[in-house]
Amino acid sequence: MRELEEYTAEVRSRVAAAGVREVAVRTRRQHRLRVLGVCLPLAACVILGALFLPPLLGSAGPDGAAPLDGEPADTGTAEGIMAGGVVDAVSDPEGAGQETAHEELVDGIAPVPEDFAFSFTWGCHGISSYDSGTGRLVKTTDASHPEDYVTELILDEDQRQAVWLLLSDLALETYPAEYDPYNAPDALQRVASEPNRDLILRVRADGRETTVSCRGICLDGLGVKGYDERARAFLEACTHLERLLTGTPEWAALPDYEVFYE
């Protein structure tokens, strides 16, 4: 029986990790498309300028006459700069450094800030939570001995990278501090359920902290989707975080729930 539970926990962990990796891959593709959309027009302008500007601007001297044989090109005027500066910019070592930075973005390598941390609360009445800063993982607070449902979970580097890609692409700072992803602010009819649930997501990175609280919102799994694309993205990110955390061996080692909500 013990071996079956360990095997089940391992399968759930792999499924959760695969889900987060899928989101990370989708995020990398989005970064790649954004960078290509910016870089391709710039590259085309540089190539066209290098091909056509030097013959046009360098074919005549200051008085409109062709430069004398053996006379050095004028690099002190605007014409001289345009004639020779385009090629120099392409072969400039600093430009090569910028190209390397673009390649990193195209590959989807988003460096994780040193101070990156997040906390996540979910479930009916917010009974489950995790804090990456302390590693504290709580399965439920609704138990006769809540201390038995607390453990420590430290994410590895691959998991932190996947979570950072997921949350940075979400742009949490653009959401309201108090948020209901199921009901638009001006909705005439409200979506609700009893019992309800809480989703509280807090992210700290680059010296800034952002918190979005969804309190008393509709339960998941009722066939109700977010009211717009951004709401659905938020709910999807929360779902992947929950699957990652509940698919770990640390979570599986905690006791079963005493209370089940229907």
Summarised one tens digit per residue, pLDDT across range 26-38 is 655 654 555 455 5
Of residues 22 and 151, more confidence is placed in: 151
Domains and CATH numbers, the chain: 1-109 (no CATH), 113-252 (3.30.1560.10)
- The DSSP result for 10-77, as a single string, is HHHHHHHHHHHHHHHHHHHHHHHHHHHHHHHHHHHHHHHHHHHHHHHHHSS-TTSSPPPTTPPP--SS
Is the whole model's pTM more than 0.75, yes or no? Answer: no
Tens digit of pLDDT for each residue in 127-143? 999 999 999 999 999 99
- Token pair 């990398």: residue: 28
**Which residues fall within 8 angstroms of residue 137, CB to CB, at 6 or more apart?**
129, 130, 150, 151, 152, 153, 245, 248, 250, 251
pLDDT range class, residue 111, cuts 50, 70, 90: confident
Specify the pLDDT at position 218: 93
Of residues 24 and 250, more confidence is placed in: 250
Specify the pLDDT at position 83: 41
Instruction: Compute the average pLDDT of residues 145-164.
Output: 96
Question: 122, 139 in Cβ contact below 8 A?
Answer: no
Whether 206 shows a pLDDT value over 80: the answer reads yes
Whether 119 shows a pLDDT value over 70: the answer reads yes
Tens digit of pLDDT for each residue in 209-240? 999 999 999 998 777 889 999 999 999 999 99
Of residues 207 and 220, more confidence is placed in: 207
